[in-house]
Structure 1
Amino acid sequence: MLDINLLRKDLPAAIARLETRKSPQPFLDEERFQALETQRRGVQIRTEELQARRNTLSKQIGQLKGKGEDTTAQMAEVASIADELKAGAASLDVIQAELQTMLMSVPNLPHESVPVGSDEAGNVEMRRWGVPRAFDFAVKDHVDLGAPLGLDFDTGAKLSGSRFSFLKGPIARLHRGLAQFMLDLQTTEHGYTECYTPYIVNREVLEGTGQLPKFKEDMFWVLRGGDDEQPEQYLISTSEISLTNSVREQVLDPAELPIKLTAHSPCFRSEAGSAGRDTRGMIRQHQFDKVEMVQITHPDKSYEALEEMVGHAEAVLQKLGLPYRVLTLCTGDMGFGSTKTYDLEVWLPAQNTYREISSCSNCEAFQARRMQTRFKNAQGKNEWVHTLNGSGLAVGRTLVAVLENYQNADGSITVPEALRPYMGGVEVLRG
């Protein structure tokens, strides 16, 4: 959530930065915001006037009582002021609640270093690593390569519908090995603490990281009948949600920072609005696995942490020998809560292109305000932490990349050396 004082101080400047995002204004109803702000200031000014008058009357009453004089009129006015103050407080609560609701649907402001662009065409390539392999045979895609190894979309569809897959045998083991390899790398070499989190979370948790209220249609809801007191719950679309919210409503000791957390979890996404996109294979599924990285940092360290996190994601691809490139996303292609995002795109031979495999984002204090997560600064005052998240990596897409980049002419798959300890020493997968 944006700092409302930023909007109060210079609303036109904030609107100008919001207008660089993909969807045009209004993210924020300027006219209604200004009307509410006028009402708020009016109520607060009147409240201050009433409090000052009440203080004056209290002194008068004390003086009059000391002289034995009648205080009926003053007492009646104090009672009237109390009633008006109560009504003013109720009115202010209503105004503040509407302002809060408005702010919950406003995205983060892009950092000044983010390139301005309307869509992915405005993203800026920062660097590349590795050289795509030259094949001397006809390249197959991961669907054809995976089928003999146990990649089964028919069973997935029979069990759950389209955009679900069923893995068994060698490919299931490869999928598990990838996740274990990623977790081991992030914990033993990069200093993250491994976590196991719930896959179902309450509504306010999703509000904390920004998935709600704006992206409700992208979530899978957990429907519970027969008890109106049950909380509104959802399946997580990423473990960023549960990892980041693990510090919600806390005042952290600065000595704890940075907090670095990682988890392997399934992710559930309805893929609303993606009809017809990536319908073949594992690129866009309703259920997929991901190893997530989260950092909770001091505000002065968050951009340093962002660069570090990108390096942690790159390390996975480098150890697997998978060519990739790093992009800085433009203003029109960033996520709702991000102020700056880097995407990693891995090379997929069958598509002859790079495809996203990780996004690493700095959200600054945007999520912290929504979660009410602070730390004690050097002056002993509460200050918002900064939060960052990144994929380290999407397991299914990494599986796709391994199959396609390490395929052989006979359809077998050479296992990358980094994965062989997780595959019982197996060097080649055959159907």
Structure 2
Amino acid sequence: MADRDEPEVIGRRVQQLRAARGLTQKQLAEPAYTPAYISTLEAGRVRASDEALRHIAERLGVAYDELATGRPARLATDLRLRLTEAQRTLAGGEAERAAEQYGALLAEAEGHDLADVQAAALLGLGESALDTGELTDARRYFERAEKTLADAPLPARVPALRGRAVSHYLAGELRYAVYLLESTLDELNRGGLHDPDALLLLYASIIGPYMDMGAHARAAQAAELALALAPHSGDPALVARMHRSVARTLLAEGRIAEADASLAKASELYRTLQIRTELANCHWMRGYVCAQNGELERAEAELRQALEMLTAKRAALYSSQVAVELADVLHRRGKSEQAAALLHDTLSDLNSERGALHSAAAHRLLGIIAEDARDTETAEEHYVRALSLLERAGAAGDLADLCRLLGDLLRRTGRVEAALDAYRTGLGHRTAPGTTTLGPAPAQPPL
């Protein structure tokens, strides 16, 4: 057995179990071995054969695996069953309860030195922390999972790398998130490690950061590659996530019917898999699609449903993000007071380290609402706050639009030079569409 303990460790274990059962070395040895052999084995001076250990295990009344490794019989199987249960809890949207289950599993796996279960538990803790918006904790869990899997092939480390990138992305560190995802894709493809699930997970995850950075060409390319990889994946939850991400690029290209079709596929898969938080995200995306298509009443209904589902499951960060988009729809429907109240409530849950992009979007929308009410001073304050958040995050596409809004406000209030500065800044963010300033795009899989 490859993962047997060292002879000294097994020897001590045999001696302790024999003493606990009140057996002599002669009684343990008979009829196949001698007392001298048992004495040598207990002293750790001989590496017992599998046959000898099976004999001793039978005499001691324990399983062979427990004698050879110190782990209770069926421990690994039991832990994997509990991992499945924790995954089901998280899929049901109960992130806090799932974190408790994963924490207990991690402690047991560490106690018995089961690296694969440790890594799975750390990944689960990271995903739970993402759902509850604890981004620093999430990043630490994913980093620990990477270290635990340090000797594993790169495809096995991809979920941890992707989790770390997402935690940076949600914190507003777009460029670093893209760097992590692009460099991993490059290493996989150049190294010939064409694992469909690993590649699909990375391509689906990089679409959002690309879109927010204004790198629409790379986002579209990632979406095409993800769609081509989907038939080769054996993970329906991963395929569903991919369809949800691809919908963003389709929307950006004005392909609303196709985006809606992608979301319908994702929703159906999530319903089948009973993944409630992701299903809420589909309502969120469908609300966004309806808003882009001018169907504001339906958009409000979809976004309210998403917000209700996410709030019920305490997905704090995601519910704050949905609230910003719902406020936008409310404002467009003439319910500006409701929108402003919702945004002020939401900003208490967001900051520059946690949901920077949506915090900026909230300030941008509050600025627009203030402008509509002819409160230019408040509008300018909100625009400047949003600009600071977006500059820190490197969200080029949104920065250009915000500079235009600020420039228009400054021009209307007679500050022409300041307005020109704002317009120039905006143009600077539009000079290199489709790039990430990170060098050439990563190598592609041989599809």
- Give the TM-score category using the shorter length: under 0.3
Length-normalised TM-score, structure 2: 0.26
Length-normalised TM-score, structure 1: 0.27
Which has the bigger relative contact order, CA under 8 A and spacing at least 6?
A: 1
Question: Which protein is richer in strand relative to its size?
Answer: 1
Question: Which protein is richer in helix relative to its size?
Answer: 2
